[in-house]
C-alpha cells in the first residue's frame, strides 16, 4: 500500500492485561500497513501491564509514526479509558483493540482499502469478520458473523437492540465523526462502552459497512469481563458492574428505542429474556437456575 495513505490510529486499551498484552502489541507491530500511530491507554492496572508496555515501547517505538502510553491514577472503566486514548489520536480512522485481543497482519490495510472503495457511500463505521478463540489463537471457536449480514439500517438497529450483535473487536471508525458528531464513548455506562455508541450511530442514520475479511481475533478467557460466563453462580466486582451497566443500557436506551421504532414483539421478548436472566443470576436454587436457563435459551432462539 502506498506511503501517502491516511494516518491510522491503533488504540490498545488495557487493564490488568499483563498475561496477553505483548501478543496484542506484537500484532499491532506486525501490520502490513505502515502509516500508524499507536496509543496505549491503561486504566490503573495493578499488575505488570504498564511496565511490560514501557519496555516494549523502548524496543519498538521506531515502527510507528508516534507512540503514546497513558496511565490513570484510578480505575474509571472501559468507556473513559477509550476516551483518554481518543483525545490523543490524530488518525483519520481509528482501530480500538483490547489488551487481550489480536489484530491479524492485514487488519489495517484491509480496512483502509475497504473505506477508500466505500468513500462515495460516506462510510463512517465499518465492522470486519472476527475470529473468536479460547485462550490461544490455535483454539478457534467460531467466526462472526454466523448469519447473513444485512446492509439494511433498520435491520441492523433491530439486531443491535435485540442482541448487541456488533463485536467491538471488529469495528473501524472515522475519528472526526466519532468525536465531532457523537463526542466519543458514553461514560455514563463505564463497563459497557460499545452498545450505547453503536445504537447512537444507527439511530442517527449511520449503518455499519461490512468488511467480510477476518481481521481480528477476540480472546475468550476466564479473566475477561464476562469470562466466567453469563450464567456464573456468583460474579466478581467487575462482573457485577458490567451487568449493572447492561441493565441500565437496556432500560434507558434499548427498550425505549425498541418502542419508538415499533419493535413491539422484540421488546416483549427482550424484556422477558432479560428478566429471566436477572432472576437466574441472582437465585441460588439449582432447580430454578436450570429452569431459568432453559427458558432463557428458548426465548433467545425466538429472538434470532
140-196, pLDDT tens digit by residue?
A: 999 999 999 999 999 999 999 998 889 999 999 999 999 999 999 999 999 989 999
296 and 152 within one domain: no
Per DSSP bridges, beta strands 8-14 and 93-98 are: parallel
Cβ contacts of 14 within 8 Å, gap of 6 or more: 21, 40, 41, 42, 43, 45, 49, 53, 98, 99
175 and 66 within one domain: yes
What 3-state class would DSSP assign to 14?
strand
226 belongs to a structural domain: no
d(CA 299, CA 189): 26
140 and 19 within one domain: yes
d(CA 168, CA 179): 17
Query: Of 15-29, 146-160, 161-175, 238-252, which range is least confident?
Result: 238-252
Q: What percent of the chain has pLDDT over 90?
A: 73
- Angle (CA) 78-111-174 rounded to 5° is 55
Total H helices, total E strands in the chain: 12, 9
89-121, pLDDT tens digit by residue?
A: 999 999 999 999 999 999 999 999 999 999 888
Task: Look up residue 223 and give its DSSP letter.
Answer: T
d(CA 231, CA 235): 9
Q: How much is the average pLDDT of 2-17? A: 89
Last residue of a domain, one of 220, 254, 282: 220
228 belongs to a structural domain: no
pLDDT at 301 over 80: no
What 3-state class would DSSP assign to 265?
helix
Last residue of a domain, one of 177, 194, 220: 220
Residue 245, C-alpha cell as written in the block: 451497566
104 and 63 within one domain: yes
Last residue of a domain, one of 220, 251, 278: 220
pLDDT at 231 over 50: no
CATH number at residue 212: 3.90.550.10
209 and 104 within one domain: yes
143 belongs to a structural domain: yes
CA distances from 282 to 93, 99, 173, 226 (A): 42, 30, 37, 16
CB 130 within 8 A of CB 170: yes
Residue 15, C-alpha cell as written in the block: 487493564
162 belongs to a structural domain: yes
17 and 161 within one domain: yes
- Quickly tell me which residue has 499491532 as its cell: 28
Nearest to 226 by CA among 217, 237, 239: 239
283 and 213 within one domain: no
pLDDT for 1 equals: 47
Domain count, the chain: 2
Sign of CA dihedral 168, 274, 299, 292: positive
99 and 196 within one domain: yes
The count of C-alpha atoms lying within 13 angstroms of the C-alpha of 277, restricted to the half-sphere facing its C-beta, is 18
- Quickly tell me which residue has 469495528 as its cell: 171
110 belongs to a structural domain: yes
Cβ contacts of 152 within 8 Å, gap of 6 or more: 207
139 belongs to a structural domain: yes
198 and 124 within one domain: yes
Q: How much is the average pLDDT of 49-77? A: 97
Residue ranges making up the domain that contains 278: 237-303
165 belongs to a structural domain: yes
1 belongs to a structural domain: no
- Quickly tell me which residue has 501490520 as its cell: 31
74 and 17 within one domain: yes
Pseudo-torsion of CA 269, 201, 215, 50, nearest 10°? -100
261 and 216 within one domain: no
Residue 271, C-alpha cell as written in the block: 424484556
36 and 179 within one domain: yes
Task: Look up residue 190 and give its DSSP letter.
Answer: T
CA distances from 14 to 8, 11, 37, 46, 132 (A): 19, 10, 17, 11, 19
Amino acid at each position: 500500500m502506498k506511503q501517502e495513505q491516511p494516518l491510522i490510529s491503533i488504540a490498545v486499551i488495557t487493564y490488568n492485561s499483563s498475561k496477553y498484552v505483548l501478543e496484542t502489541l506484537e500484532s499491532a507491530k506486525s501490520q502490513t500497513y505502515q502509516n500508524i500511530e499507536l496509543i496505549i491507554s491503561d486504566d490503573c492496572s495493578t499488575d505488570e501491564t504498564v511496565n511490560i508496555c514501557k519496555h516494549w515501547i523502548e524496543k519498538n517505538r521506531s515502527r510507528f509514526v508516534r507512540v503514546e502510553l497513558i496511565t490513570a491514577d484510578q480505575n474509571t472503566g472501559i468507556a473513559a479509558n477509550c476516551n483518554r486514548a481518543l483525545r490523543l489520536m490524530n488518525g483519520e480512522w481509528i482501530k480500538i483493540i483490547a489488551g487481550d485481543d489480536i489484530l491479524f497482519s492485514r487488519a489495517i490495510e484491509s480496512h483502509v482499502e475497504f473505506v477508500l472503495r466505500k468513500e462515495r457511500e460516506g462510510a463512517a463505521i465499518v465492522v470486519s469478520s472476527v475470529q473468536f478463540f479460547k485462550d490461544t489463537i490455535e483454539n478457534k471457536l467460531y467466526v462472526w458473523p454466523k448469519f447473513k449480514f444485512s446492509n439494511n439500517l433498520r435491520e441492523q438497529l433491530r439486531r443491535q437492540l435485540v442482541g448487541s450483535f456488533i463485536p467491538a473487536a471488529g469495528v473501524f471508525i472515522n475519528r472526526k465523526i466519532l468525536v465531532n458528531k457523537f463526542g466519543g464513548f458514553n461514560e455514563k455506562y463505564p463497563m459497557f462502552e460499545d452498545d450505547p455508541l453503536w445504537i447512537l450511530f444507527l439511530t442517527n442514520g449511520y449503518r455499519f459497512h461490512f468488511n467480510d475479511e477476518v481481521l481480528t481475533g477476540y480472546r475468550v478467557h476466564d479473566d475477561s469481563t464476562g469470562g466466567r460466563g453469563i450464567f456464573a453462580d456468583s460474579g466478581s466486582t467487575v462482573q457485577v458492574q458490567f451487568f449493572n451497566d447492561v441493565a441500565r443500557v437496556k432500560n434507558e436506551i434499548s427498550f425505549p428505542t425498541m418502542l419508538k421504532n415499533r419493535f413491539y414483539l422484540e421488546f416483549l421478548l427482550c424484556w422477558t429474556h432479560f428478566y429471566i436472566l436477572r432472576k437466574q443470576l441472582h437465585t441460588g436454587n439449582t432447580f430454578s437456575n436450570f429452569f431459568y436457563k432453559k427458558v432463557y435459551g428458548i426465548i433467545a432462539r425466538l429472538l434470532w
